[in-house]
Amino acid sequence: MRMLALFLLLAAGLWAKTILIVAADAPDFVLAAGGAVAAMIEAGDRAILVRVTNEDKDSYGLTAEETALRSRAECEQAAGILGIGKVVHLGYRAGELGGVSPTEIRDRILFQVRLHKPDVMFIPNPYAEYVEQLDRHYVGMAAEEARRAAALGNHQPPHEAVGLKTHHTPELYYYAQPVDPRRREPESTATFVPQPVVKDIARTFAKKVRAAQALKTSNHAMAMRVRERLEATGRRLPLLDTVDDASVAKLAELNVAGLAKIGAADSPYRMAEEFHYAGKDFQVPEKLRAK
């Protein structure tokens, strides 16, 4: 029995995948991909998160410095709830990536790809429409290019000197919160364009809720903004008559549940997340594949 248990553990280690998640900010990846990532980790995979901005803007009544400190700690707590083993903070100021060299961001992500050699990457979908937070677009573009560049030796040759070899990541998930009305439309044939996929997250839904609730600073800011906008138009949400820890946590839970319902629409699932997926057959025409 001991030999069998040891064999199973070794087999699980051999077949486990390494996941690299790239995010502009913690709320985006938790809300758009937290359930799917948690499910893969529960199945034995390991995950690393690369958080590009310091989220210093998304708060209510706090300085940028205090916001950045709180957001960092809350991001790490949320990642821990999902099972993510390591968080790398690149530290760019939020809302200002438009003034940063895209090549600089790409090369910093490229380094992480070569360092961790992921089997799977999750990146913000830079092609999603109606995304107000443009940092997510910039990070998605940089991460997409980093994945390709990491496989080419003429990108960052000095990496070779410290033992970082070229690396191709065979699976790629593009994530975005479901606001684009055309998000499930394939743009072309499956051979050349990542295709829409829906992932069941019912088993990890509760874990995703807890991770989202851990992001207290951005959740409190969201609650205050919602209440103020409702009051400005003569409306109210009874839940937010008093904005405290309990009401903010409940609002976060309702938000996660609403997104999961949207993701599950027209699918066999109760709760789901949507992605565009480029898998191992991506860009390999079916007629050329071995039978």
Tens of pLDDT along 11-25? Answer: 555 679 999 999 999
**With 90 as the cut, is the pLDDT of residue 249 above it?**
yes
In this structure, is residue 107 part of a structural domain? yes
* Dihedral Cα 211, 213, 215, 221, nearest 10 deg: 150
**The predicted structure's pLDDT at residue 250:** 98
In this structure, is residue 156 part of a structural domain? yes
- Domain residues for the domain of 40 are 17-288
Averaged pLDDT for residues 278-289: 66
* Dihedral Cα 180, 182, 188, 193, nearest 10 deg: 20
Burial grade of 171 (CB within 10 A; 0-12, 13-18, 19 or more): middle
The C-alpha angle with vertex 205 and arms to 201 and 209, in degrees rounded to 5, equals 140
What are 240's two structure tokens? 């937010």
Look at the pTM and tell me if it is higher than 0.85. yes
**With 60 as the cut, is the pLDDT of residue 191 above it?**
no
In this structure, is residue 9 part of a structural domain? no
In this structure, is residue 11 part of a structural domain? no
In this structure, is residue 1 part of a structural domain? no
Dist CA 63 CA 71 (whole Å):
12
Give residues with Cβ within 8 angstroms of 13, minimum separation 6.
none
**The predicted structure's pLDDT at residue 10:** 47
DSSP secondary structure string for all residues of 190-229: TTTS-EEEEEE-TTTHHHHHHHHHT-HHHHHHHHHHHHHH
In this structure, is residue 2 part of a structural domain? no
The total domain count for the chain is 1
CATH (domain of 164):
3.40.50.10320
**With 60 as the cut, is the pLDDT of residue 186 above it?**
yes
DSSP secondary structure string for all residues of 121-171: EEEE-TT-SS---HHHHHHHHHHHHHHHHTT-TTSSTHHHHTT-------E
In this structure, is residue 10 part of a structural domain? no
In this structure, is residue 209 part of a structural domain? yes
**With 80 as the cut, is the pLDDT of residue 280 above it?**
no
